[in-house]
Amino acid sequence: MSGELLTATGVRVEFATRGGQVARALDGADVQLSPGEVLALVGESGSGKTTLARTLMGLEKPAAGEVRFGDRPLDYSVKGLRHLRRRVQMVLQDPAGALNPRHTVYDSVAEGLRIHGLVDGDPQGRSETETVAAALSSAGLRPPEALFLRYPHELSGGQRQRVLIAGALAMAPDLLVADEPVSSLDASIRGEILALLLKLREELGLGVLVVTHDLGLAWNIADRVAVMYLGRVVEQGPTEEVLSDPQHPYTQALLSVVPETERMEPVVLKGEIPDPTRIPGGCRFHPRCPALADGTAAAAGVADACRGTALPVLPADPAGHVVACHLATLVGQAGESSS
C-alpha cells in the first residue's frame, strides 16, 4: 500500500431539503490519513465533520470529488463496500444505543466475523471463540471469558464502549473511525478509553480518525487536527501547531471557549453555524468572524476580500500547517518575508 490509507479530495456531499433546496453538507473537503495516524476532525455541530467521516467510510456517496482507499478509488458496489468495511471499522458515539440489548457481549463482538465469514478464513487458524476473546482482551476487558454471556445492561458505560471497540477489533481493521467516542462517558472513564485508542495504535498500528467537538481530546491523542466549518476544512496541521498557535479566527474562538483556558479571553461566537443551503459568499466564516467584526481585517486591508473573495480548498498536506483565511494568509506572508 502507498503512503496514504484514506484520502478525500474535493469531496462534495449534498442533501435535498424538504423545501427543495440543496444543503451542501460538504463543500470541497480534502483530508488524508496515513497508516497508524490519529487524525482529529473538530468543529461545531453542523460543521460537516460527521458527514466527512461517513463519506470516508463509503456511507455517503459524494456528488463531486473522490475518496481513495489505499491506491484505489472507493468502490461503491456491494462487494466493494463490504471489503472496505472489513478494513475500516466504526465506533459509534452512544454505546448504550449501539449495542443490541438482547445480544450477549459474545454475540455482539462475533457478529461482524459471522457477517464477513472471517472465521473459516482466519490467517492464524483461530476459532471464533479465540478471536472474540482476543478482541475483548485487546479492548481491555479481562478476563474475556467472564464477559461472554453478559448483556449490555449489566455493563458500565466504559465497558460498553470497550465492547464496541472489541467488535471493531475482531475484524482486524486498518482504521478505526470513532465518532465522539467519549462524549457520553463520565470524565473518569474518558481518559481510559482514549488511552486504549493510543495503545491500539501502538500495538496494532491502527490508524484512528476521531470526530469530536472536544479540543482537549485532540490534544490528548491526535497527531494532526483538521478544523471544519460549514462543510470545509478551514485549518489543518500537526496538533501542537494548530492548537498552540491557531491561525484561523474560528480555531482561535473554539479554543478560547474550552473551559479553564486561562491564557485566552473567551470569544463567544454569536449564533450557530449558518444553514448549509445558503453558504455565505466570500469567506464562509465572515458573518461570524470576530476579526472582521472588530476591524482587525479592515486595518489589514483584507475586509473586502473576506466579504467577496472565496478561499481555495486547503490541500490535505500531512506535514504542513495550512489555513483558509485571508487575514492569516496575509500575516503569514508578512512573517515569512521579514524572517
Partner 1 sequence: MTARLLEIEDLSVTYRTGEGDVPAVRGVSLTVDRGEIVGVAGESGCGKSTLASTVLRLQPPSAEVSGAVRVLGDDVMTMRWGDLRTLRWAGASIVFQGALHSLNPVHRVGRQIAEPIELHEPDLAEGEVTRRVGDLLEQVGLPAARAAAYPHQLSGGQRQRVMIAMALACKPDLVIADEPTTALDVMVQSQVLDVLSGLVAELGVGMLFISHDLSVLADLCDRIAVMYAGRVVELGAADEVFTRPLHPYAAALSAAFPRIGDPAARYAPAGLGGDPPDLRLLPDGCPFTPRCPRAVEECSHAEPPLATYDAGRQAACIRVGQA
Q: In this complex, which beta carbon is closest to partner 1, that of residue 30 or of residue 223?
A: 223
Task: Tell me: does residue 253 bind partner 1 (CB under 8 A).
Answer: yes
Residue 74 CB, nearest approach to partner 1 (Å): 29
| Residues recorded for the chain | 339
Q: Quote the cell numbers at residue 326.
A: 485571508
Whole-angstrom distance, CA of residue 186 vs CA of residue 189? 5
Q: Note whether 38 and 223 are within 8 A (CB).
A: yes
Q: Note whether 87 and 173 are within 8 A (CB).
A: yes
Q: In this complex, which beta carbon is closest to partner 1, that of residue 243 or of residue 302?
A: 243
Task: Tell me: does residue 158 bind partner 1 (CB under 8 A).
Answer: yes
Whole-angstrom distance, CA of residue 51 vs CA of residue 46? 9
Q: Quote the cell numbers at residue 157.
A: 458505560
Residues 30-59 that bind partner 1 (CB under 8 A): 44-45
Interface stretch with partner 1, choices 104-112, 116-124, 129-137, 210-218 (CB under 8 A)? 210-218
Task: Tell me: does residue 255 bind partner 1 (CB under 8 A).
Answer: yes
Identify the residue whose cell numbers are 482466519. 122
Residue 264 CB, nearest approach to partner 1 (Å): 10
Q: Note whether 38 and 87 are within 8 A (CB).
A: no
Write the interaction track for partner 1 spanning residues 212-251; mark x where CB under 8 A is met and - where it is not.
-xxxxx-xxx-----------------xx--xx-------
Identify the residue whose cell numbers are 454505546. 95
Residues 291-320 that bind partner 1 (CB under 8 A): none
Contacts of 169 (CB under 8 A, 6+ apart): 89, 135, 138, 139, 200, 204
Q: In this complex, which beta carbon is closest to partner 1, that of residue 75 or of residue 94?
A: 94
Q: State which of residues 188, 337, 338, 339 lies at the interface with partner 1 (CB under 8 A).
A: 188
Q: In this complex, which beta carbon is closest to partner 1, that of residue 87 or of residue 213?
A: 213
Q: What does R_g of the chain's alpha carbons equal in angstroms?
A: 21
Q: In this complex, which beta carbon is closest to partner 1, that of residue 98 or of residue 189?
A: 189
Q: In what order do the strands lie in the sheet with 72-73?
A: 22-33, 6-16, 64-69, 72-73
Interface stretch with partner 1, choices 3-11, 120-128, 166-174, 192-200 (CB under 8 A)? 192-200
Contacts with partner 1, residue ranges (CB under 8 A):
44-45, 156-158, 186-195, 198, 213-217, 219-221, 239-240, 243-244, 253-255, 257-261, 263, 266, 268-269, 272
